[in-house]
Amino acid sequence: NDAQTRFRRVLLKISGEALMGDQGYGLHPPTVQRIAREVKSVHDLGVEICMVIGGGNIFRGLAGSAQGMERTTADYMGMLATVMNALAMQSSLEDLGVYTRVISAIPMDQVCEPYIRRRAVRHLEKKRVCIFAAGTGNPYFTTDTAATLRANEMSCEAIFKGTKVDGVYDKDPKKFPDARRYDRVTYNEVLTKNLGVMDASAIALARDNDLPIIVFSLDEPGGFKGILAGEGTFTTVH
Ligand code: UDP
């Protein structure tokens, strides 16, 4: 396959749930391996890759606080969950021969690297996949906001948000057969129509820095590489 791409540096955002396969919870190693192969196929094109993985397959701060936990403590647990997911992805990528660094917003030196911006940029230049873990390091944020923050800091050309559906729809396509997919949609439309691409702070941060968000299906084999080459269906939020 001689797919080409105009992108040189991108950030791939996936939810924690993307790693749990058909299970209701946790990590499904074959699914992690499948996504690692998607990442490798893009890495093989010479694209510099950042990743942010959520933690919702293990723990969500809001769910904890709804059950009576103190919110910030619950959020720290959610951030720790993203570190586990990042380590699982690192393991799968390195199995495939792709060098990676897990870089945490909360220092835990025995486990992974602390976030030092210039060091992360250097890793990317050396073609190491950088997996940014522990979100922004702050409670009350999400990994979507972390993805937008890191994509800006790393000067990525776009965020690729891998989901279960092939773009942004006006309503849930899994529930409504007449749901309509947008080819392009503006940040403000996403906010005013509450289209649920990412949370509002992430969308606003992308808008204010003119960072495109490309929403695509990660369930399509070869999907990530195809989308980078401009093939297949997706929605551009810009
Ligand atoms: N989280 C946080 N600050 C951040 C990023 C994440 O407090 O900057 C916590 C928050 O509790 C969140 C959890 O980590 O619920 C997991 O992240 P997220 O819900 O974004 O994961 P996803 O839905 O993408 O799997």
- Per residue in 35-46, pLDDT (tens digit) is 999 999 999 999
Please check whether residue 40 is in contact with residue 30, taking contact to mean a CB–CB distance below 8 angstroms: no
Amino acid symbol at 149: L
Q: Record the pTM.
A: 0.97
> 90 φ, ψ to 5°?
-60, -45
Look at residues 52, 165, 182, 48 and name the one whose alpha carbon lies nearest to residue 105. 52
Residues of the chain where predicted confidence (pLDDT) is lower than 50: 1
- Please list, in sequence order, all residues whose beta carbon lies within 8 angstroms of the beta carbon of residue 100, skipping any fewer than 6 positions away: 89, 90, 93, 94, 128, 129, 130, 131
> 223 φ, ψ to 5°?
-60, -45
How many angstroms separate the CA atoms of 143 and 86, rounded? 12
- Whether residue 51 is contained in a domain is answered as yes
Look at residues 195, 237, 190, 188 and name the one whose alpha carbon lies nearest to residue 216. 237
Ligand 1 centroid to 73 CA: how many Å? Answer: 12
Specify the ligand 1 atom closest to the Cα of 13.
24
- Whether residue 22 is contained in a domain is answered as yes
Ligand 1 in reach of 167 Cβ (< 6 A): no
Helix 143-153 × helix 200-208 angle, to 10°: 10
Please check whether residue 47 is in contact with residue 11, taking contact to mean a CB–CB distance below 8 angstroms: no
Specify the ligand 1 atom closest to the Cα of 61.
11
Specify the ligand 1 atom closest to the Cα of 63.
15
How many angstroms separate the CA atoms of 87 and 27, rounded? 11
**193 labeled part of a ligand binding site:** no
**Mapping DSSP to helix (H, G, I), strand (E, B) and coil, where does residue 224 land?**
helix
pLDDT value of position 1: 45
- Whether residue 4 is contained in a domain is answered as no
How many angstroms separate the CA atoms of 112 and 86, rounded? 10
Ligand 1 in reach of 61 Cβ (< 6 A): yes
Ligand 1 in reach of 162 Cβ (< 6 A): no
How many angstroms separate the CA atoms of 39 and 41, rounded? 5
- Whether residue 198 is contained in a domain is answered as yes
Ligand 1 in reach of 17 Cβ (< 6 A): yes
How many angstroms separate the CA atoms of 151 and 214, rounded? 13
Kindly report the CATH number assigned to the domain that includes residue 31.
Answer: 3.40.1160.10
Ligand 1 in reach of 75 Cβ (< 6 A): yes
**172 labeled part of a ligand binding site:** yes
- Please list, in sequence order, all residues whose beta carbon lies within 8 angstroms of the beta carbon of residue 213, skipping any fewer than 6 positions away: 158, 159, 161, 197, 198, 203, 206, 236, 237, 238
Q: Where are the alpha helices (DSSP H) in 105-155?
A: 117-125, 143-153
Q: Number of structural domains, the chain?
A: 1
pLDDT value of position 220: 87
pLDDT value of position 5: 86
- Whether residue 26 is contained in a domain is answered as yes
- Whether residue 2 is contained in a domain is answered as no
- Whether residue 139 is contained in a domain is answered as yes
pLDDT value of position 2: 53
CA atoms within 13 A on the CB side of 147: 31
Query: Residue 95's domain spans which residues?
Result: 9-237
- Whether residue 102 is contained in a domain is answered as yes
Look at residues 158, 170, 173 and name the one whose alpha carbon lies nearest to residue 219. 173
Q: State the Cα torsion 178-183-188-192 to the nearest 10°.
A: 0
The interface pTM score, or ipTM, of the predicted complex is 0.98
pLDDT value of position 64: 96
Name the residue with the closest Cα to ligand 1, atom 21.
54
